[in-house]
Structure 1
Amino acid sequence: MTPFRLPLLLGSTALLLAACTGQPANEVRTMVEESQLRGEAWSVTSLNGEDVTEATVTLNFHQPGQVAGKAACNNYMATYVQDEDSFTITTGGVNMMACPAPLMEMERQFLDALKGVNHADINKQGQLILTGSDDIRIEARR
């Protein structure tokens, strides 16, 4: 192999691997800062790849370590823990008001997704992106 081919091969391999990360190009993969979460409530726009249009689903990081909001049908409360490498949410109380079946199903999916979150980002467009194992992805905006 000529001396010029090796750097070209290594550079091409690095580009190929970077392109295969599965992360959309418009996102930054850094952990969100707590100050970015607080303030106005976040409205969930997408849950695991499906648009959220039929219900109101919100995240309100009103105090450090606490999140609450509307989960399609009922209000919920949860706690979160953030460190340098992870962001986890533990759901707590949920009101138990009966709602139409589609809203109850969306609520179940949302609360299940919250339990699996292990990372939080804010992308270049200002969207909050919560991700986790098993293709969990919650997108929200203000």
Structure 2
Amino acid sequence: MKAMKSNLFLCLCAAVLLLTGCCGCRSHQKRTQRPLIGTEWKLVQLGGRTMEGADADSFTLRFAETGDVSGKGACNRLMGSYQVGEDRSLKIGPLGATRMMCPDMDSETQFFQMLDGVTHYDMDGPMLMLLDEGSLVAVFQAADSETK
């Protein structure tokens, strides 16, 4: 009987720790959450590949309240429009861009193609995930949250 009470007590303690731990996660997420609109988003992952080296600081997006989107690729600037829905649907484009030759045109081409196919977005704290029909295609981090 004593062992059963001890096990029950341990189970209750574990449950309390799990529940209070989740509250801390939600609190952190709310504290670090950035709005989609007005935040500069830096690309950290594209098509499952982590951005490294010069690419790590190159690719950005910013959504304006006016329905305009701007940013940059490997060396070209982009501009265009976007539409967002209540169900987190997101349509980016049509897009225009400057036409400079970049050392790494493959990454920039993949970036522009990804933006053209985005259908939805999701957010987790300072992270923005872009989705194409439910598949994760890119992950961005709020530029002002990198040092926090």
> TM-score scaled to structure 1, two decimals?
0.67
Q: Pick the structure with greater CA Rg.
A: 2
Q: 1:96 to 1:49 in 2, by over 3 A?
A: same
Give the helix-richer structure, 1 or 2: 2
Listed as ranges, the matches of 1:120-139 within 5 Å are 120-123=121-124, 125-133=125-133, 135=135, 137-139=137-139
Residues 91 and 114 in structure 1, CA contact (< 8 A), matched pair in contact too: no
Larger CA deviation: 128-137 vs 47-56: 128-137
Q: Per-residue deviation at 1:63?
A: 3.2
Could you list the per-position Cα deviations for residues 101-138 of structure 1 after superposition, in whole angstroms to 9, with x for gaps in the alignment? xx211010000000110001111x32000110494511
Structure 2: how far apart are the matches of 1:82 and 1:44? 19
* Stretches of structure 1 lacking an aligned partner (at least 5 in a row): 1-25, 27-34
| Residue 107, structure 1, aligned to residue 135, structure 2 | no
SS of 2:119's partner is strand
Corresponding residue pairs, total: 106
* Stretches of structure 2 lacking an aligned partner (at least 5 in a row): 1-24, 26-33, 143-148
Q: Per-residue deviation at 1:40?
A: 3.3
| Residue 90, structure 1, aligned to residue 93, structure 2 | yes
| Residue 80, structure 1, aligned to residue 82, structure 2 | yes
2:40 aligns to what?
Answer: 41
> TM-score scaled to structure 2, two decimals?
0.64
Q: Per-residue deviation at 1:82?
A: 1.2
SS of 2:99's partner is coil
Aligned-residue sequence identity (percent) comes to 34
> Which amino acid in 2 is paired with 1:92?
L
CA RMSD of aligned residues (A): 2.1
Structure 1: how far apart are the matches of 2:94 and 2:73? 11
Structure 2: how far apart are the matches of 1:112 and 1:137? 10
SS of 2:39's partner is coil
Q: Per-residue deviation at 1:36?
A: 1.3
